[in-house]
Amino acid sequence: MSKRGENIYKRKDGRWEARYAKGCKPDGSVRFGYCYAASYREVRSKLAAAKAAMLHGETTATAGTKRRFGAYCEEWLLLCRSRVKESTYMKYDAILRNHVLPQLGACPLSALSTVAVEQFSHTLLTDAGLSAKTVRCILAVVQAVIGYIRRQDARLLPQNIEIVYPKSGRREMRVLSREEQQVFTAYLLDEPDDCKFGALLALWTGLRLGEVCALRWGDISLADRTLTVSSTMLRLKNYDEDAPHKTKIVLSDPKSTTSARVIPLPDCAVKLCAARHKSDPAAFVLTGERDRFLEPRTLQYRVKRYAADCGLADVHFHVLRHTFATRCIEVGFEIKSLSEILGHTSPEFTLERYVHSSLALKRDNMEKFSALGY
């Protein structure tokens, strides 16, 4: 705990943090500086030195260039805490702890360069064996921290730093063929349980894993034949050191503003929901109870097992969402409507990521060309 007026705290990672006001932002709010050390005595000394430097007119650039890149990563993450979702904050925290801080944290700002960041990226790809997509996510965080440093004082970074994002070949997403979907659907309809019900809902509506698990009966209107997506369920890291478990289940807002949506239900989904309907609107759809839920990783594990029982390889829960989107295109769905049902930000994203043309659909389209008489 901080002593009165000192603004010195012991962090959860064991280090000490000191905060001091070093100016004002354009909107008039206070801009803070931070010091970090392994002990209270050391961080108090650093705090006194920082305040003395300000009193003697030492420029921010002179004082700041002595700091390591990791210190600014910590500041940036701290400021993210109140402006992003908890799941996003934890993603940033994991990226910094697992990748950025171990390799770039001790780097002085004067040594940070395009080449240094490119070497970091190359190490992640080759030595760590991460995918190009994952490395791009990590580099996006690095770029955000660099932008934060420049906003503090452009003189802190003596050279322009260009982030070179790795390219990757597009990997085609697994989608169930019509025959595979018939086999899988028949299996799920045979003695359906909570998990089979969740898989069928995803296959017939395109819901995400967390959205299915978070559904309550108040979100489904059998009279209007609609399903409302208003929340999602996630398993996140638990930062409470006294908690008995390292992770926790969290119900939060959907993935994005467009993810909150109303989906018209097809006949098959209406019949399935009517057969399992519970009068309590607060009860979870997958369990029928308000105090017991089916967590995402359980549903994900079961779907893999169901697919294996059907002899279907490489099938995980998200395959059901892609399969739904592909079937919709095959029957002539209008792309903007499909994009809104899936909760995407734009039809272009839906076309690029979620529409997978089967050989049968390509053949049907070529037959339309043949009808011209050539």
**What is the tens place of the pLDDT at every residue in 150-183?**
888 878 887 788 998 988 766 678 899 999 999 9
Instruction: Compare 27 and 291 and report the one with higher pLDDT.
Output: 291
**DSSP annotation of 24:** E
43: Cα separation from own chain's centroid: 34
- 3-class secondary structure, 260: coil
What pLDDT, on a 0 to 100 scale, did the predictor assign at position 134? 92
Start-end of H helices in the chain: 40-55, 60-64, 69-80, 86-95, 101-104, 114-126, 132-152, 178-189, 194-205, 209-214, 267-276, 296-309, 317-330, 335-342, 347-354, 359-370
Q: pLDDT at residue 310 above 60?
A: yes
Mean pLDDT of 222-246: 85
Is 307 within 8 Å of 184 (Cβ atoms)? yes
Q: What is the pLDDT of residues 272-288, one digit of tens each?
A: 999 999 999 999 999 99
Q: Which of 57, 35, 161 is nearest to 109 (CA)?
A: 161
pLDDT for residue 61:
44
| DSSP 8-state symbol, 326 | H
> pLDDT grade, residue 50 (50/70/90)?
confident
pLDDT mean over 142-146: 95
Q: Does residue 123 surpass a pLDDT of 70? A: yes
In the chain, pLDDT over 90 holds for what percent of residues? Answer: 45
Q: Is the pLDDT of residue 27 over 90?
A: no
Mean pLDDT for the chain overall = 85
Res 362: pLDDT: 66
Q: Which residue has the tokens 């979702």?
A: 85
Q: In this predicted structure, what is the pLDDT of residue 303?
A: 95
**What pLDDT does residue 306 have?**
96
pLDDT of amino acid 60: 45
* Mean pLDDT lowest among 134-138, 155-159, 212-216: 155-159
Would you state the pLDDT for residue 3?
52
Is pLDDT at 1 greater than 60 in this prediction?
no
Whether residue 28 has pLDDT greater than 80: no
Please give the span between the terminal C-alpha atoms of the chain, in angstroms, as a whole number: 82
Cα–Cα dist 260/24, whole Å = 37
Q: How confident is the model at residue 47 (pLDDT cuts 50, 70, 90)?
A: confident
- CA distances 233 to 87, 103, 116, 214, 248, Å, are 10, 33, 38, 5, 10
